């Protein structure tokens, strides 16, 4: 069953259960996928569909932060519920151990040795973690690992000059 079929089935289920909130959130996701497909002028690949879902979750996460700062807990909770619903259609998130292993493998693969190599490592990691880990978290872990490696190199006299 394709992602589109899964979402449509969930919309139908929400309609049967008279769950307007869930139905409306799923319709927005279906519309975002449809619009992305029309913009691409072709059916979306699985990675592209995942990117759309990731973008939808990110938009809702940003809305939660904004509503929370504005003191609108009711709206923040609704946005959070929508983000949680969208995540059910995404692959299982990576745990800390899996993420750390992927970061170390990417650093080794790229031969990265300092913070200047962050972009190169992230270019390799982004497709592997898309939809399964927050990009900001991944970037932070890569930056920490590269900083540790850079400090270790300097401590062992491997300065670049």
Name all domains of the chain by residue range, CATH numbers in brackets. Answer: 3-87 (1.10.1510.10), 96-155 (1.10.10.410)
Instruction: Please report the pLDDT score of residue 161 as a whole number.
Output: 44
Residue range 78-108, pLDDT digits in tens: 999 999 999 999 888 888 889 989 999 999 9
Instruction: Please report the pLDDT score of residue 156 as a whole number.
Output: 67
Q: How far apart are the C-alpha atoms of 73 and 79, rounded to whole Å?
A: 10
Residue 32 has pLDDT above 80, yes or no: yes
Between 124 and 152, where is the model more confident? Answer: 124
Distances (CA, A) of 18 to 13, 22, 26, 76: 9, 9, 13, 22
**Residue that the structure tokens 């909130």 belong to:** 21
Residue range 14-23, pLDDT digits in tens: 999 999 999 9
Instruction: Please report the pLDDT score of residue 80 as a whole number.
Output: 95
Indicate the range of 9-13, 27-31, 145-149 predicted with least confidence. 145-149
Average pLDDT for 135-161: 76
Residue 158: band (very low, low, confident or very high) from pLDDT cuts 50, 70, 90: low
Instruction: Please report the pLDDT score of residue 157 as a whole number.
Output: 63
- The whole-angstrom distance between residue 76's C-alpha and the CA centroid of its chain comes to 19
User: Cβ–Cβ contacts within 10 Å for residue 110, how many?
Assistant: 16
Please report which residue ranges of 17-115 form alpha helices under DSSP H. 20-40, 46-69, 73-87, 96-110
Mean pLDDT of the residues in the chain: 88
């Amino acid at each position: 069953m394709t992602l589109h079929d899964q979402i449509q089935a969930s919309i139908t289920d929400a309609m049967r259960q008279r769950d307007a909130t869930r139905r409306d959130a799923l319709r927005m996701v279906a519309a975002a996928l449809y619009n992305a497909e029309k913009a691409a002028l072709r059916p979306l690949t699985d990675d592209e569909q995942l990117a759309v879902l990731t973008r939808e979750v990110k938009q809702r996460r940003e809305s939660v932060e904004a509503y929370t700062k504005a003191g609108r807990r009711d709206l923040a909770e609704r946005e959070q519920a929508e983000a949680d619903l969208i995540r059910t259609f995404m692959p299982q998130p990576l745990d800390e151990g899996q993420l750390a292993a992927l970061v170390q493998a990417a650093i080794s693969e790229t031969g990265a040795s300092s913070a200047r190599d962050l972009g190169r490592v992230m270019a390799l990691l982004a497709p592997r973690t898309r939809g399964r880990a927050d990009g900001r978290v991944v970037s932070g872990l890569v930056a920490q690992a590269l900083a540790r490696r850079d400090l270790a190199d300097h401590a062992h006299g491997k300065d670049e000059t």
